[in-house]
């Protein structure tokens, strides 16, 4: 808690110390940001697994879509063949009308072949008749894979990654297949090759149908599937021999049985699968790792940005707090310096009023004190007004060509008698007789007076000060030295800050506002020069650098 007395009123201002503010700032901002970043990085493992799951889900959806498309094709084919083999059409011209039909057959009521014509059989037709005769006569049953083979070819389960052949659950005769149904498709093994057979029962007991053309059926399937090859995967249909129905560029050689995901198409097509393969089996893991690294980088950058932003905000706020503390100290100093001369003026004025019998000499002394304190008060007010003018850029310099050597010599001589009376030894040196600068004479004089006043204030025991002028290149250097308490390396730049005063025991006894050096540097820099505090073996060492007029443009 900072407090100060102004007039008859006591003011108190709560100012949080920088250390406490730093702790509060870290607890409220840095710690939550760190914890959030930690949990974000920790959750990346779950995000990577989720990404892999999303990729797998996308591939499953492609397999499901392809599976549905092929089953819709089976239904359309069955519907088309069912219409072509109707009793009204008779079925004689089916081969010309439907590209699905391969070898057409017709059976009598007693299951004897009426078609193909037994008297004129070609080689494929002979093989068909000899291979299916016993099946149609119920002499040989066929394996059953999943229920009976009817027109309904919808899937019975949602199974993926099924890389083994479906196992028959039993055997069934032809009469059992057609019992209670009018049409259907039957998978048959003819001469060691899986074939698909369509049949339809007429009302008179005859059976008609065909052996489906697998070449055309495969072409139809390949046309309805999505793009077979992309940058990341291969999507195709495997026939009963575990070979893709169509080979396209980019598939290359691979073990087609080793699928990433697969699904049985239908019980009407045993061992047929729609399958998906990864072009690069490690692609998902690599993509997940890449995603993880990108997110890690983003989180790290966000944390660094937050940390940097917090650091900047912290520095800004601590600077504001420091400035607020300095302003409070400034208010205390100004109130003290204003109150002291006012108190003296009031006291001597009251003495003049109350002690009318005092001698003329005493009255004159009182008036001199009042005049001196009034001058001191005026100097302080002008000091504050000049600073305000410089800060708000309302100050206008009256620049002209001046001899800086003469100005410095005259200033030292004007102060010499007073300083020597106080016990000071004052020395003046110059390497040149005359150096012209373009400057405001009163402003430069004010800067020099501030330096001399500081040397006077801080020279406690060894009272010596010197002013040395020399030329370096395009600049004239004015060095002001004393043998006082000195300035540490850490404080050499900070003493030029507004309201700043060195926190040392000696300063508590020395009056000041903390604005003298700030104003002095501002004036010199406005003249394209600089004011520096340099290292010294003892005491303080200030240097004013001003450009020589002949080098100015």
**What percentage of residues in the chain have a pLDDT greater than 90?**
21
Q: CA 455 to CA 450: how far, in whole Å?
A: 9
How much of the chain is in helix, strand and coil states, percent to nearest 5?
50, 20, 30
- At residue 380, the pLDDT reads 63
Q: CA 519 to CA 447: how far, in whole Å?
A: 7
Is the pLDDT confidence value at 349 over 70?
Answer: yes
Phi and psi torsions of 138, nearest 5°: 65, 25
* H or E stretch covering 11: strand 9-13
Q: CA 429 to CA 423: how far, in whole Å?
A: 20
Is the pLDDT confidence value at 282 over 80?
Answer: no
The answer to whether residues 471 and 431 touch, using CB atoms and an 8 Å cutoff, is yes
Q: CA 307 to CA 538: how far, in whole Å?
A: 42
- At residue 144, the pLDDT reads 73
Q: Strand order in 530-534's β-sheet? A: 425-430, 464-472, 475-482, 541-547, 530-534
Q: Find the DSSP H helices in 43-122.
A: 44-84, 94-97
Cα→Cα distances 467→198, 238, 461, 543, Å: 120, 102, 19, 10
- At residue 169, the pLDDT reads 63
pLDDT averaged over the chain?
A: 78
Beta bridge partners of 275: 236, 262
- At residue 511, the pLDDT reads 57
Q: CA 310 to CA 28: how far, in whole Å?
A: 11
Per-residue pLDDT, averaged over 296-317, amounts to 76
pLDDT tens, position by position, 307-340 = 777 777 777 777 777 667 666 656 655 665 666 6
Beta bridge partners of 190: 193
> If we measure between CA atoms, which residue out of 503, 410, 496 comes closest to residue 451?
496
Helix orientation angle between 360-391 and 283-354, rounded to the nearest 10 degrees = 160
- At residue 403, the pLDDT reads 93
- At residue 233, the pLDDT reads 86
pLDDT tens, position by position, 199-241 = 999 988 999 999 999 889 999 998 898 888 888 888 999 988 8
Q: CA 413 to CA 423: how far, in whole Å?
A: 15
Q: CA 55 to CA 105: how far, in whole Å?
A: 48
- At residue 553, the pLDDT reads 40
Residue 311, CB half-sphere, CA atoms under 13 Å: how many?
A: 6
Is the pLDDT confidence value at 170 over 60?
Answer: yes
Question: Burial level of 111, CB count in 10 A (0-12/13-18/19+)?
Answer: middle
Cβ neighbors of 521 (< 8 A, separation 6 or more) are 496, 530, 531
Is the pLDDT confidence value at 384 over 70?
Answer: no
- At residue 330, the pLDDT reads 60
Q: With the C-alpha atoms ordered 403, 409, 410, 415, is the resulting torsion angle positive or negative?
A: positive
Maximum CA extent, the chain: 167
Is the pLDDT confidence value at 29 over 80?
Answer: no
pLDDT tens, position by position, 75-101 = 999 998 988 888 877 655 555 678 888
- pTM for this model (two decimals): 0.48
- At residue 490, the pLDDT reads 83
Q: What is the DSSP letter of 229?
A: B
Is the pLDDT confidence value at 351 over 60?
Answer: yes
Q: CA 66 to CA 442: how far, in whole Å?
A: 94
Q: CA 452 to CA 443: how far, in whole Å?
A: 14
- At residue 95, the pLDDT reads 52
Q: CA 74 to CA 224: how far, in whole Å?
A: 12
Q: With the C-alpha atoms ordered 171, 175, 176, 182, is the resulting torsion angle positive or negative?
A: positive
- At residue 256, the pLDDT reads 87
Per-residue pLDDT, averaged over 293-312, amounts to 76
> If we measure between CA atoms, which residue out of 495, 471, 478 comes closest to residue 444?
478
pLDDT-based confidence at 162, cuts 50/70/90?
very low
Q: CA 429 to CA 259: how far, in whole Å?
A: 98
- At residue 279, the pLDDT reads 83
The answer to whether residues 546 and 476 touch, using CB atoms and an 8 Å cutoff, is yes
Question: Burial level of 532, CB count in 10 A (0-12/13-18/19+)?
Answer: middle
Least confident stretch, 153-157, 289-293, 323-327: 153-157
pLDDT-based confidence at 404, cuts 50/70/90?
very high
CA 26 to chain centre: 21
* Number of residues assigned to the chain: 553
pLDDT tens, position by position, 94-148 = 556 788 888 889 999 999 988 887 676 678 888 888 889 999 999 988 887 644 4
Residue 389, CB half-sphere, CA atoms under 13 Å: how many?
A: 12
- At residue 397, the pLDDT reads 80
pLDDT tens, position by position, 56-76 = 888 899 999 999 999 999 999
Per-residue pLDDT, averaged over 352-361, amounts to 70
The answer to whether residues 178 and 199 touch, using CB atoms and an 8 Å cutoff, is yes
- In 10 A of CB 374, how many CB atoms? 14
Cβ neighbors of 294 (< 8 A, separation 6 or more) are none
Per-residue pLDDT, averaged over 533-542, amounts to 89
């Amino acid at each position: 808690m900072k407090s100060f007395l102004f007039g008859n009123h006591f003011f108190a201002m709560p100012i949080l110390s920088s250390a406490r503010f730093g702790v509060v700032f870290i607890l409220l901002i840095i710690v939550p940001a760190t914890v959030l970043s930690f949990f974000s990085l920790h959750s990346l493992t779950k995000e990577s697994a989720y990404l892999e799951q999303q990729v797998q889900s996308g591939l499953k959806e492609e397999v499901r879509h392809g599976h549905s498309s092929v089953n819709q094709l089976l239904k359309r084919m069955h519907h088309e063949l069912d219409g072509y083999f109707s009793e009204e059409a008779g079925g004689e011209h089916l081969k010309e009308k439907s590209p699905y039909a391969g070898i057409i057959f017709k059976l009598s009521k007693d299951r004897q072949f009426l078609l193909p014509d037994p008297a004129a059989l070609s080689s494929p037709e002979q093989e068909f008749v000899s291979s299916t005769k016993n099946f149609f006569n119920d002499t040989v049953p066929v394996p059953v894979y999943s229920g009976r083979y009817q027109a309904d070819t919808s899937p019975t389960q949602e199974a993926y990654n099924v890389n083994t052949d479906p196992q028959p659950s039993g055997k069934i005769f032809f009469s059992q297949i057609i019992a209670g149904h009018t049409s259907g498709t039957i998978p048959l093994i003819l001469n060691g090759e899986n074939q698909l057979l369509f049949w339809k029962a007429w009302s008179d007991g005859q059976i008609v149908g065909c052996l489906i053309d697998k070449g055309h059926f495969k072409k139809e399937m390949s046309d309805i599937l999505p793009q077979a090859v992309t940058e990341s995967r291969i999507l195709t249909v495997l026939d009963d021999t575990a070979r893709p129905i169509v080979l396209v560029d980019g598939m290359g050689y691979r073990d087609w049985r080793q699928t990433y995901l697969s699904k049985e198409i239908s019980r009407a097509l045993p061992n047929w699968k729609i399958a998906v393969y990864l072009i690069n089996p490690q692609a998902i893991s690599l993509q997940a790792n890449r995603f993880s690294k990108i997110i890690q980088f983003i989180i790290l950058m966000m944390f660094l940005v937050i940390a940097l932003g917090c650091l900047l905000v912290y520095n800004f706020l601590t600077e504001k707090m420091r400035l607020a503390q300095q302003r409070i100290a400034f208010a205390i100093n100004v109130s003290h310096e204003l109150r002291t001369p006012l108190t003296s003026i009031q006291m001597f004025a009251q003495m003049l009023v109350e002690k009318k019998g005092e001698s003329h000499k005493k009255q004159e002394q009182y008036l001199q004190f009042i005049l001196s304190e009034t001058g001191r008060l005026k100097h302080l007010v002008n000091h504050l007004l000049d600073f305000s003018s410089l800060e708000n850029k309302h100050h206008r310099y009256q620049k002209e060509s001046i001899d800086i050597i003469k100005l410095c010599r005259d200033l030292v001589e004007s102060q010499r008698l007073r300083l020597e009376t106080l016990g000071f030894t004052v020395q003046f040196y110059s390497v040149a007789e005359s150096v012209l600068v373009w400057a405001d004479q009163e402003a430069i004089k004010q800067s020099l007076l501030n330096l001399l006043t500081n040397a006077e204030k801080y020279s406690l025991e060894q009272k010596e000060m010197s002013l040395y002028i020399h030329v370096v290149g395009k600049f004239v250097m004015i060095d002001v030295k004393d043998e006082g308490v000195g300035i540490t390396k850490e404080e050499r730049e900070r003493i030029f800050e507004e309201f700043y005063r060195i926190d040392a025991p000696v300063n508590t006894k020395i009056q000041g506002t903390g604005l003298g050096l700030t104003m002095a540097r501002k004036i010199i820099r406005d003249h394209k020069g600089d004011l520096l505090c340099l290292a010294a073996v003892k005491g303080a060492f200030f240097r004013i650098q001003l450009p020589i007029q002949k080098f100015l443009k």
